[in-house]
Amino acid sequence: MEKTKCLIIGSGPAGYTAAIYASRANIDNVMYEGIQPGGQLTTTTEIENFPGFPTGIEGFDLMENMKQQAERVGSVIRSGVVTAIDLSKRPFVATIDGKDQIEAESVIIATGASAKYLGIDDEKKYSGMGVSACATCDGFFYRKKTVAVVGGGDTACEEASYLSNIAKKVYMIVRKDYLRASQAMQKRVNEKENIEILFNCNTVGLFGENGVEGAHLVRHKGTDHEEMFDIAIDGFFLAIGHRPNTAFLNGQITLDEQGYIELQGKTTATNVEGVFAAGDVADPIYRQAVSAAGMGCHAALDVQQFLMAKGLI
């Protein structure tokens, strides 16, 4: 069985930064990039708030730069998904894509988070036929058409802004009577003439023959002012938050009420000795690329201290 001093599960800013720091500390490490190589940022358009890029940088380009940097300093980066891992004893044993196995003295979990769905049956019915959780992935298909974005936070505003440059009309379906997004993102949305915000609205269904043709909405749900109405749309985009990717851990790591990995004190250590976590999978508060990169740095340094204390490096 293949062996490594540090197994990094997942990529993105946290995973790639951890790989860079681990390699520079001369710690043998192997990364499996996971279901979305490069993480969520690969589906983001221009990033304006990552330090060092005064004119901004595309999310995919930033992640590709980080990957190349990690490989240049010696990290082994592979495509593949860790489908299971045994954390009951060290060395830990991880299973890749349900078949291959690798043994590791330490683990950094950087699996990020995945988009949440509303949970209505029509989301599955129209999956790939008008329903999407990635505007930058699928926006091209809705050129000069009408689309809806569900959500009121930064992600929803960014998706709506992006789509407004492609689509004829963009509805934002917002459950509350206000946007939760930052002032900068709200300003961007409000300045777009083809974005219409539907406040106090919930989606209860979708309809269409061979794909999404519209959405059933309810305004002021559960009140005396409840009102049902439909909007005609060609695409329906989810932007209501994310769920940490921790299912493969099978309950071996302590999670908080929201499902994020709980860290010990001011470190990136989990409740299992030798297992560390970084990025969105362990960050329910900030969830920013730069903070994820910082956590990746911390995790690699924590791994270094752990391996030194155990006499493994």
Helix axes 289-309, 12-24, angle to 10 degrees: 40
Contact 11, 63 (CB under 8 A): yes
**Distance between CA 202 and CA 160 in Å, rounded?**
17
Burial letters 96-130, b for 16+ CB under 10 A, else e: beeeeebebbbbbbbbbbbbeebebebbeebeeeb
Burial letters 26-57, b for 16+ CB under 10 A, else e: ebbbbbbbbebbbbbbbbbbebeebeeeeeeb
Bridge partners of 311, per DSSP, are: none
Nearest Cα neighbor of 172 from 183, 182, 184, 158 is 158
Residues serving a catalytic function are 134, 137-138
